[in-house]
Structure 1
Amino acid sequence: MLPFKLDKIDKKILDILQVDGRITNAQLSKDIGLSPAPTLERVKKLENAGIIKSYHAKLDTEKINLGVSTYVMVSLKGHNRSNIEKFIKAIDGVDEIIECNHVTGSSDFILKVIAKDIPSYQKLMLEKVSEIEVVDSMQSMVILSTFKDSKKMPIPENK
């Protein structure tokens, strides 16, 4: 499958929607210099092509009482399909694990975990994550501060 060809207007739409997914079609059309109907058509085309996957509300974790964020490097007892599938199935039911990446290097996965506080985090790790039968070892890194948290993707040039 060939990559989707994005023109300048598509890229501008993507840049704007990544910053403000709630922008009205009328305002978006003004910002990109098209009338509302073709603007909506382009957005629908980007959604249907799977380039725009979803729209989200970004929450303030402190205001909803989730004060501890960590990255956890996880190694499995064996790096095979069965263990990977068991691990993924087990963590899928853990709401506090908000991101899971299969990686190369000294660990098999890196998880992003969010919890109310350190005792809640410790309980989660002891009672849920470390109890997953295929988990061999874990190493946690508590996030002290976040200086950049951009969800905006750079749109590469077509060649």
Structure 2
Amino acid sequence: MSIPVKLDKIDRKILEILQANAKITNSQLSKEIGLSPAPTLERVKKLEQSGVIHSYHAQLNPSKIGLGVNTFVLVSLTGHNKDIIEIFIEEINKIDEVIECHHITGSGDFILKIITGDIAAYQQLMLERVSAIKVVDNLQSMVILSTFKDSKVMPVPDGILK
């Protein structure tokens, strides 16, 4: 686990603004945080270089591109040794429809978030790709009926100050 980067109030404000609008210009960002453009850009670059800002992405509307079925899948593996876990991770990373994969505690070993166009595509994916991974023992699917919160904005804790 990495050590948290120390952030001051201005860094936290930059992170809050960039999470809300990553397309904001440096000039506008500098106005909103009360610094001139040069030190603002320097702070953003420092946040990027330190790994606090990991990447920038366009968030797509799934329904606008024909992706209408979202599911969570609880996966249990045939065992828990390093080789089995590595085989699973290697194979799951080859499946584009798996948009999240988390190693978890509890009744399963992994939880996946899968997105497909329709139920038929989901069924085919599960039968031909996911359940075909040789180290998969059991799968439990949960279809997402409605989503009421899907925030990509992370709270930046006050406790990590310079």
User: 2:64 aligns to what SS in structure 1?
Assistant: coil
Corresponding position of 1:81: 82
Matches for 1:99-114 after TM superposition, within 5 Å? 99-114=100-115
Structure 2 match to 1:148? 149
Give the percent of matched residue pairs that are identical in Structure 1 and Structure 2: 67
State the TM-score, normalizing by the size of structure 2: 0.96
> For residue 43 of structure 1, what is the aligned residue in structure 2?
44
Aligned to 1:65: 66
Greater RCO (Cα-Cα under 8 Å, separation 6 or more) = 2
* One-letter amino acid of the counterpart of residue 89, structure 1: E
Amino acid at match of 1:107: G
Deviation at 1:2, TM superposition (A): 4.6
RMSD after superposition: 0.9
1:130 and 1:11 mapped to 2: Cα distance? 43
Q: Which residue of 1 aligns with 2:6?
A: 5
**Partner of 1:29 in structure 2?**
30
What amino acid is the match of 1:71?
Answer: F
Give 1:32's aligned amino acid. Answer: I
The question of 1:93 aligning with 2:126 is answered: no
Distance 1:58 1:79, change over 3 A: same
- CA distance in 2 between counterparts of 1:143 and 1:88 reads 23
Structure 2 residue aligned with 1:132: 133
How many correspondences in the alignment?
A: 159
Q: Cα–Cα, structure 1 residues 26 and 65, in superposed 2: closer, same or farther, change >3 Å?
A: same
